[in-house]
Chain A
Amino acid sequence: MILLNLYLSFAKVGLFTFGGGYAMLPLIESEIIHGRGWLTVREFTDIVAIAEVTPGPIAVNSATFVGYRLAGVLGGIMATLGVVTPSVVIVLALAMLAKRFENSIGLARVKSGMRPAVVGLIAAAALTVARVALVDLKSMMIAAVAALLVFKVKLDPIVVLAVSGLLGAIIFS
C-alpha cells in the first residue's frame, strides 16, 4: 500500500512540476510533509541538500531519497517511477503530435516563435545558476578557468565539470 501511495504521490508531484526541479520542491513539501506526514521539515532540508550535490535531476533524486527513507529500495524505485510517469506520457503525446504535423506551416510558425524563446530560457538558466554559483573571488576564478577550458581549449563538458570539481575540492576545503 505504501508503495502504491508513494507512486501516486510522486506522480502528482511530477504532473504539476513546470520549469525545472526547483519548482517541484514546494510541491513535495505540501504533498509529502504536510499532506502525508511522511517526513519532517528537517529531513526534507537534508534531502534537498543531498539532491543538489548529487548528479541527476533534482526531482528524481528527491523522489528516490524520500521513497527509500519510507519503504527501502523498492520504495525508492516506485517513487522515482511515479515522478517520471507524467513526463513520459505527456512528452510522448507531444512528440507524436509534433510528428503528425511535421510538415504543417502552422507548426513551422509555432517553432519560429518558440526557438528564440528557448535561447532566452537557457540564458535565464545561466543567470539563475550564476546567482548562487558566483558568490566570491574563488568561484569567479573557477568560472574563468572553466571559460578558458570551454571556449579556448574546447574540452568536453564532462571533463570541464570534473576539473572544476577537483579545483573546488582543493580551493574550498
Chain B
Amino acid sequence: MDSRFDADSESGENRRSETGVPPKASIAALFWTFFRIGAFTIGGGYVMVPLIQRDIVERRGWIDKDSFVDVLAIAQTAPGPLAVNTAVYVGYMLRGVWGAMASTAGCILPSIIIILVVAALFDQISSFSYVQAAFAGIRPAVVVLIVSAAIKIGRPVVRSRVELALAAAAMVLVAFVRVSPALVVTAAALYGLFAPSVSGNGGSDA
C-alpha cells in the first residue's frame, strides 16, 4: 500500500485498482471526507487538489489517478468554485445524485460555519494579528503542496513530447497570458479530438 506511486507506474493507460473494482463509498463517508477537505481548503481552491488526491485517490482508493485528472478537467471547465465542482463530480461518480449532494454539502459546510462565526465576531478578529501571521505562513506551504500535486498528477499523464508541450502551453497561457482555464481546457479537448494522436496510441484508453 505504501509504494503507491512506483508500483503501478509501468501499467500504462489502463490503471484500475488491483481488483478492478473501486471500494464502495457510503454517503456519510463522502460527506465527512469532503467536510475535512472543505475545512482545510485555505488560500484558494487549488489547495484542495493535493488534499483530495491524498484522501480520495490514495487513501480511500475511490477513484483512480486517470479519472482524477478527468474530474479536474471538468471542474475547471464548468463555472463555479473548483472545490465545489470537484465535490459534485466525485460525489456523482461514486454515489449518483445523492452522493453529489452529500459531498457538496460536506465541502461548503465548514466555510458556512466558520464565516458565520467570523462575521458575528468581525471587529475583534480583523485586528487579530496571529491569525494573519499564520496565514502568511500557510501560503508558502500551499505553493509546495500544489507543486507536489502537479508532479503526482503529471507523472502518469505527461509521457510524450506532445503531452509535455500541451501541459507547458496550458501553464504559460493561464499563468502569464491570463487566458481563462475553461478556454484552455476546451481548446486542449478539441486538440485531443482532432489531432492525430496525443498519447501515442491514438488516444484510446481501451
Interface residues of A (CB under 8 A from B): 14-24, 46, 49-61, 64-65, 68-69, 73, 76-77, 80, 83-84, 86-88, 90-92, 94-96, 98-99, 103, 105-106, 108-130, 132-134, 139-140, 142-143, 146-147, 150-151, 156-158, 160-161, 163-173
Contacts and interface: CB of A to CB of B under 8 A. Distances in A.
A119 B154 contact: yes
B84 A88 contact: yes
B89 interface: yes
29 contacts: A19-B181, A19-B182, A21-B44, A24-B81, A53-B131, A53-B135, A56-B38, A56-B108, A57-B84, A64-B119, A69-B119, A91-B88, A98-B70, A98-B74, A115-B70, A116-B163, A116-B167, A116-B170, A116-B198, A118-B157, A120-B171, A121-B76, A122-B153, A146-B143, A161-B47, A161-B141, A165-B137, A167-B137, A169-B130
Nearest to A139: B140
A142 B198 contact: no
B28 interface: no
Interface residues of B, number: 114
B1 to A, nearest CB: 13
B83 to A, nearest CB: 4
Given A142-B137, A166-B137, A18 B118 contact: no
9 nearest A-B pairs in the assembled complex, by CB-CB distance: A168-B137, A113-B192, A56-B111, A120-B170, A87-B80, A117-B188, A164-B141, A133-B139, A57-B81
A94 B76 CA distance: 12
B21 interface: no
Contacts of B108: 56-57, 60, 80, 84
A58 B49 CA distance: 15
B175 A127 contact: yes
B46 A122 contact: yes
B185 A90 contact: no
Contacts of B72: 118, 121-122
A78 B191 CA distance: 40
Nearest to A87: B80
A60 B189 CA distance: 29
B64 interface: no
Interface string B129-145: 11111111111111111
B190 interface: yes
B56 interface: no
B112 A116 contact: no
Nearest to A81: B108
A96 B88 CA distance: 11
